[in-house]
């Protein structure tokens, strides 16, 4: 059969442009930049039924409760006793912070000393932390060293976050009010043996840009600390642990330590608790 009689007539003019093309109401597609999101609605349907002021407060409360609230935490990561040959000691390391998902204020502290000989090192940092993506933060602030003497005050900037394969890493650059500069790198990994038993290897490396003999630090690689701790989480917030810790000073830092009657390296058995709330 000949179907030519049933063909639609061909138009000699181009088809009309869809008025909604490009997600723009009433504008041709060429007038909308590619990648432009639709405008944020300025009206809310509920405002036509309820008091707009009441609804505005409700929307603000919902936003705050779904990520806009201020939170806080105190984490004592290490509070431990160190058993060394002929000289027992202690060590602490912890952090407290307050803020939201993006911006936080953090206070960090760490130090160590001998059971019989008093405090050897102690520092406190006040830091502003800002998230730059879901995994990494940049930090900046000040660090105050109370030991060793003489005391030092540092400006600091650095990063912290979760690297691929769940390695926790941190790096900081310190510049003191005397002009000496230092670099600290840290890393750790939680290997779960069971849901409550966790093995944690950890490393800390320190570098100095110049000799600072008054605080016993030499230029270059100054010291390394390696630790291996096995903890048992009685509750998620409370976990005793045991382990081993090894420290080694290098270069002029080791020479300064020997001149003060200290050893350049030390291996200790550790036992302590980790808790947070």
**Residue-level pLDDT at 101:** 86
**Residue-level pLDDT at 31:** 56
Q: Tell me the HSE value of 123 on the side-chain side, using a 13 A CA sphere.
A: 19
Distance, in Å, from the CA atom of 131 to the CA atom of 161, rounded to the nearest integer, reads 9
Distance, in Å, from the CA atom of 220 to the CA atom of 160, rounded to the nearest integer, reads 23
The CB density around residue 249, as the number of other CB atoms within 10 Å, is 25
Distance, in Å, from the CA atom of 63 to the CA atom of 165, rounded to the nearest integer, reads 32
Distance, in Å, from the CA atom of 120 to the CA atom of 159, rounded to the nearest integer, reads 27
Residue 40 is classified by DSSP as P
Structure tokens at 119: 């405090």
Is CATH 2.40.160.40 correct for 71-276? yes
Q: Which of 151, 160, 150, 101 is nearest to 127 (CA)?
A: 160
The strand pair at 181-189 and 191-192 is best described as: unpaired
Q: Which of 214, 215, 222, 213 is nearest to 249 (CA)?
A: 222
Contact 188, 168 (CB under 8 A): yes
Structure tokens at 228: 């291996």
Four-residue CA torsion sign, 233, 236, 239, 244: positive
pLDDT digits (tens), the chain, 277 positions: 444 444 444 444 444 444 333 443 444 455 556 777 788 777 888 888 999 999 999 988 887 777 677 889 999 999 999 999 878 999 999 999 999 889 999 999 999 999 988 899 999 999 999 999 999 999 999 999 999 999 999 999 999 999 999 999 999 999 999 999 999 999 999 999 999 999 999 999 999 999 999 999 999 999 999 999 999 999 999 999 999 999 999 999 999 999 998 999 999 999 999 999 9
pTM of the predicted model as reported, rounded to 2 decimal places:
0.78
Which residue ranges make up each domain of the chain? 71-276
């Amino acid at each position: 059969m000949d179907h030519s009689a049933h063909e639609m007539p061909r138009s000699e003019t181009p088809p009309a442009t869809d008025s909604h093309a490009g997600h723009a109401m009433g504008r041709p597609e060429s007038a909308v930049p590619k990648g432009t999101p639709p405008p944020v609605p300025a009206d809310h349907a509920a405002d036509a039924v309820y008091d707009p002021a009441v609804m505005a407060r409700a929307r603000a409360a919902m936003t705050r409760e779904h990520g806009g609230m201020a939170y806080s935490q105190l984490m004592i990561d290490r509070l431990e006793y160190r058993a060394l040959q002929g000289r027992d000691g202690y060590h602490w390391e912890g952090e407290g912070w307050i803020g939201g998902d993006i911006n936080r204020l953090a206070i960090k502290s760490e130090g160590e000393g001998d059971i019989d000989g008093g405090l050897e090192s102690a520092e406190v940092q006040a830091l502003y932390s800002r998230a730059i993506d879901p995994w990494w933060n940049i930090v900046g602030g000040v660090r105050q060293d109370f030991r060793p003497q003489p005391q030092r005050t540092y400006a600091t900037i650095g990063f912290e976050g979760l690297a691929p394969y769940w390695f926790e890493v941190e790096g900081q650059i310190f510049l003191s009010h005397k002009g000496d500069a230092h670099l600290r790198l840290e890393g750790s990994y939680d290997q779960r043996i069971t849901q409550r038993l966790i093995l944690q290897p950890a490393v800390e490396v320190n570098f100095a840009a110049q000799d600072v003999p008054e605080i016993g630090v030499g230029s270059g690689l100054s010291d390394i600390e390696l630790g291996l701790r096995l903890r048992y989480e009685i509750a998620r917030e409370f976990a005793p642990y045991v382990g081993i810790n090894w420290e080694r000073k290098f270069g002029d830092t080791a020479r300064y330590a020997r001149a003060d009657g200290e050893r350049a390296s030390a291996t200790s058995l550790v036992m302590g608790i980790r808790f947070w709330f």
